[in-house]
């Protein structure tokens, strides 16, 4: 009996098993589970626990073409075992997720699935409302519309600031709300995030540039740019 080709669909688990065998042919195949989760972004995760591989993929990709899912799984498994990521996987996945359709879906999901978790803009040493107003007046001529402002709940030392365009929110890391942090440093981090409001992400083929040349040039025009960058390099030591 001939089976219709449309029924011969490779599940994500079988896809992952095939990719694993290609990458590690002499290693016993572990149990592999692939889950689609309701994330607020396109982040996907992989972990090896108790001899089992668990792959979690954003549900926004549930209906993606099989080659795209295969590319993503290939990228994740290569990262798990610290192997080179095949260039064709990177190109195929990047072209899909940077397409207009998936970007629009992602924007809609981010607007409906929860809001950014942040604390009041009033800190122990700096008030972000006042910081925003000062930076807006001095560097943007007061033209930037006020976003939702707040300090992060955690004292993040790597992500010092973030602008979320979907909720028009700027969050600064609470680690900056410290007596040893100069006000000009807080102003600069706010300035950087406000530039994201003024200068949109640039699309270059299949690549998205969050900090295009125009952004970097504007960033360097901040009067105390060199001073702030030097301080941020030694931030961890200053705040010990």
Q: What is the mean pLDDT of residues 110-124?
A: 72
Is there a domain that residue 120 lies in? no
Residue-averaged pLDDT of the chain: 87
Is there a domain that residue 153 lies in? yes
Is there a domain that residue 35 lies in? yes
Q: Measured between alpha carbons, how far is 130 from 196 in angstroms, rounded to an integer?
A: 19
220 with 144, same domain?
yes
Q: What is the 3-state secondary structure (H, E, C) of 1-28?
A: CCCCHHHCCCCHHHHHHHHHHHHCCCCC
Q: What is the mean pLDDT of residues 1-27?
A: 77
10 with 37, same domain?
yes
Q: Measured between alpha carbons, how far is 46 from 44 in angstroms, rounded to an integer?
A: 7
Q: What is the mean pLDDT of residues 58-63?
A: 87
154 with 187, same domain?
yes
Entry pTM: 0.58
pLDDT tens, residue by residue, 188-237:
999 999 999 999 877 665 566 788 899 999 999 999 999 999 999 888 77
Q: What are phi and psi of 140, to 5 degrees?
A: -125, 10
Q: What is the CATH number of the domain that holds 145?
A: 3.30.2010.10
Q: What is the mean pLDDT of residues 167-193?
A: 94
102 with 163, same domain?
no
Q: What is the CATH number of the domain that holds 19?
A: 3.30.2010
**Domain total in the chain:** 2
Residue range of the domain that includes 39 = 5-112
């Amino acid at each position: 009996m001939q089976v219709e080709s449309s029924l011969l669909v490779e599940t994500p688990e079988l896809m992952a098993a095939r990719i694993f065998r290609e990458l590690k042919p002499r290693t016993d195949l572990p149990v592999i589970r692939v889950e689609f989760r309701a994330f607020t972004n396109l982040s996907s995760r992989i972990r090896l626990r108790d001899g089992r591989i668990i792959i979690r993929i954003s549900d926004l990709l549930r209906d993606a073409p099989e080659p795209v899912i295969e590319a993503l799984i290939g990228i994740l498994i290569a990262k798990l075992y610290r192997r080179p990521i095949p260039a064709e996987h990177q190109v195929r996945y990047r072209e899909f997720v940077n397409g207009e359709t998936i970007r629009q879906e992602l924007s809609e999901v981010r607007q409906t699935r929860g809001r950014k978790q942040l604390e009041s803009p009033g800190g122990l040493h700096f008030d972000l409302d006042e910081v925003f107003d000062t930076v807006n007046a001095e560097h943007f001529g007061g033209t930037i519309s006020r976003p939702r402002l707040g300090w992060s709940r955690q004292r993040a030392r790597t992500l010092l600031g973030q602008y979320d365009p979907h909720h028009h929110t700027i969050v600064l890391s609470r680690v900056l709300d410290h007596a040893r942090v100069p006000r000009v440093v807080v102003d600069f981090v706010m300035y950087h995030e406000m530039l994201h409001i003024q200068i949109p992400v640039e699309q270059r083929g299949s690549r998205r540039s969050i900090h295009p040349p125009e952004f970097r040039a504007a960033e360097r025009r901040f009067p105390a740019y060199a001073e702030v960058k030097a301080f941020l390099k030694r931030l961890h030591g200053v705040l010990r």
